[in-house]
Amino acid sequence: MSSTPARTIEAFDAVDLIHAKRDKGELSTPQIDWLIDAYTRGYVGDEQMAAMTMAIFLNGMSRREIRDMTMAMINSGERMSFDRLDKPTTDKHSTGGVGDKITLPLMPLVAVFGAAVPQLSGRGLGHTGGTLDKLESIPGWRANLSNDEMFQQLQDVGGVICAAGSGLAPADGKLYALRDITGTVEAIPLIASSIMSKKIAEGTSALVLDVKFGSGAFLKDIERSRELARTMVALGEDAGVATSALLTNMNVPLGLAIGNANEVRESLEVLAGGGPADVVELTVALAREMLNLAGIVDVDVEAALKDGRAMDKWNAVIRAQGGDPTAAMPVAKETHTVVADRDGVLVEQQALPFGIGAWRLGAGRARKQDPVQHAAGIDLHAKPGDTVRKGEPLFTLSADEPERFARALEAVEGAWRIGAPGDPILDGGPLIAERIGN
């Protein structure tokens, strides 16, 4: 006589939890723990979690619920520890933008001063570029490291930029993919728990958040960005991670390069003591924050950019991951330059359209599996406030296929404007608007 295996009795029912959040109720800690676990193992289906994420998008979550969600996602996988390192760990996360290559000069700069920087990074999707895509412009460089390789590189060199392993917060991987196709990406509780679950699971002792606002940002309104920053700082503090955030302006592209290989080249200019003023300003500000949270104070960050120490650290990190820092990077086969049609002052340069333009040139991807063209992108020759002359270049498009230029030009149509001297500059104000944290 055969016996039927006993069916596991689930602690809760997904529909009851959806009803509760739909009707603006709070989910208990055991309910949230069960929901994330059941979704990770496939008992709760995508259609049920899609309904839950929409209910959260519409009705929000309390601080306690967000904390519980974050911890449940951390507990869905492994949790790393750098306790064996003989140096403090400190990390940075950016919510993404146009021309945001700050991780590249920032990591070696901070590592110069004896901190370990475990920078687990991702790839781009849509108009926001991915740090790993940029670095893969360097011949031989590899993104995938084992935990042992990462630990050894942090001990020996002080910094690493690599892909996060699939074992870190796997619930977030499933949930993010679902949010991306259900119109719930912008839900602040879900953004905060997504970012912080990975960063806390990563094991860093200190974390600085670069939370963007403006045209090219994930959240365009500064009030929403401020809410996200405060939520994430609170999550970090609750988890025992020293955390702060800078609210930074993404109305205008950051720096002059938008793409992959060209952003690496611009980062090297910064590491050589030059580079665009806004990239240098934000790199230095974030480095100071990271070092302060790690307990490393009274150091001259700017000097390390000018005297070659940060560049030496960059070269060591790139070599440690198989890259050749002296190798030539890809150059596009075709270029198209847009010039000023009159004398005046560049008064407007919107970030989002230029990000979309670079994406259409091949610098980004529409689907995760799509390749990127490392040489594709846009190089800006002027920024808002600069005087321009008729016939002078404003920006140059680069691509391997010239047929991409037409759609890229459509994207940036109306995104820049030349005015007269004295006209207001539409750049959204200071680069760094506010600091949030203790």
**What's residue 130's pLDDT?**
85
Mean pLDDT in residue range 397-401: 96
Convert the pLDDT of each residue in 401-428 to its tens digit. Answer: 999 999 999 999 999 999 999 999 999 8
Please indicate whether residue 127 is annotated as part of the active site: no
3-state SS assignment for residue 64: helix
Q: DSSP secondary-structure letter at 105?
A: H
Q: How many CA atoms lie within 13 A of 187 on its CB side?
A: 26
Q: Which of 68, 133, 172, 210 is catalytic?
A: 172
What digits encode the pLDDT tens for the residues 241-269? 999 999 999 999 999 999 999 999 999 99
Strand order in the sheet with 377-380: 257-259, 377-380, 393-399, 334-339
- Helices 277-293, 103-111: axis angle to 10 degrees equals 40
Q: Specify whether the CB–CB gap between 73 and 172 falls below 8 A.
A: yes
For residue 226, indicate whether it is catalytic. no
Residue 320 has pLDDT above 80, yes or no: yes
What Rg value do the Cα atoms of the chain yield, rounded?
Answer: 23
Identity of residue 399: A
Q: What is the DSSP string of 227-295?
A: HHHHHHHHHHHHTT-EEEEEEEE-SS-SSSEEESHHHHHHHHHHHTT-S-HHHHHHHHHHHHHHHHHTT
Residue-wise burial string across 84-119, b where 16 or more C-beta atoms lie within 10 A, e elsewhere: ebebbbbbbbbbbbbbbbbbbbbbbbbbbbebbbbb
d(CA 350, CA 403): 24
Q: Among 108-117, 147-156, 169-178, which stretch is predicted with the lowest mean pLDDT?
A: 169-178
The answer to whether residue 417 is catalytic is: no
pLDDT in tens, 113-145: 999 999 988 776 666 778 999 999 999 999 999
Q: Pick the catalytic residue: 179, 199, 226, 404?
A: 179
Q: What pairing do the DSSP bridges indicate for beta strands 334-339 and 257-259?
A: unpaired
For the chain, which residues make up each domain, given as ranges?
14-60, 90-167+204-327, 334-419
pLDDT for residue 7 is more than 70 = no
Tell me what pLDDT residue 161 has: 94
What's the pLDDT band for 181 if we cut at 50, 70, 90? confident
Q: Of 183-192, 305-314, 402-411, which gets the smallest average pLDDT? A: 183-192
The pLDDT value recorded for residue 206 is: 97
Specify the pLDDT at position 1.
Answer: 46
Give the model's pLDDT for residue 56: 97
Helix, strand, or coil (residue 386): coil
β-strand pairing of 242-249 with 206-213: parallel
For 90-167+204-327, give the CATH class. Answer: alpha beta
**What's the CATH superfamily of 14-60?**
Transferase, Pyrimidine Nucleoside Phosphorylase; Chain C (1.20.970.10)
Catalytic residue selected from 21, 93, 127, 212: 93
8 A C-beta contact, residue 27 and residue 17: yes
Q: Is the pLDDT of residue 330 over 90?
A: yes
Dihedral sign from CA coordinates of 247, 115, 237, 103:
positive
- Indicate the length of the chain as a whole number: 438
Nearest CA to 358 out of 337, 379, 340 is that of 379
Q: Which CATH superfamily is domain 334-419 in?
A: Pyrimidine nucleoside phosphorylase-like, C-terminal domain (3.90.1170.30)
pLDDT of residue 164: 82
Q: What is the mean pLDDT of residues 198-225?
A: 94
Select which of 67, 134, 198, 313 is catalytic. 198
Mean pLDDT of 155-169: 89
The rounded distance, in Å, linking the Cα atoms of 64 and 26 is: 9
Q: Residue 139: which residues within 8 A CB-CB, separation 6 or more? A: 323, 324, 327, 329
pLDDT at 228: 96
pLDDT digits (tens, 9 = 90+) for 339-371: 999 999 999 999 999 999 999 999 987 666 678
> Looking at the predicted structure, is the pLDDT value of residue 38 above 90?
yes
Q: How confident is the model at residue 6 (pLDDT cuts 50, 70, 90)?
A: low
Q: For position 4, what pLDDT does the model report?
A: 53
Catalytic: 194? yes
Task: Spot the catalytic one: 76, 94, 137, 194.
Answer: 194
Q: Is the predicted pLDDT of residue 177 greater than 90, yes or no?
A: no
| Mean pLDDT score, 9-18 | 93
User: Beta strands 242-249 and 432-436: pairing type?
Assistant: antiparallel
To the nearest 10°, report the CA torsion of 144, 145, 150, 156. -100
Distance, CA of 231 to CA of 28 (rounded, Å)? 19
Please confirm, yes or no, whether 121 is among the known catalytic residues: no
**Mean pLDDT over each residue of the chain, to the nearest integer:** 93
Does residue 196 have a pLDDT over 90? yes
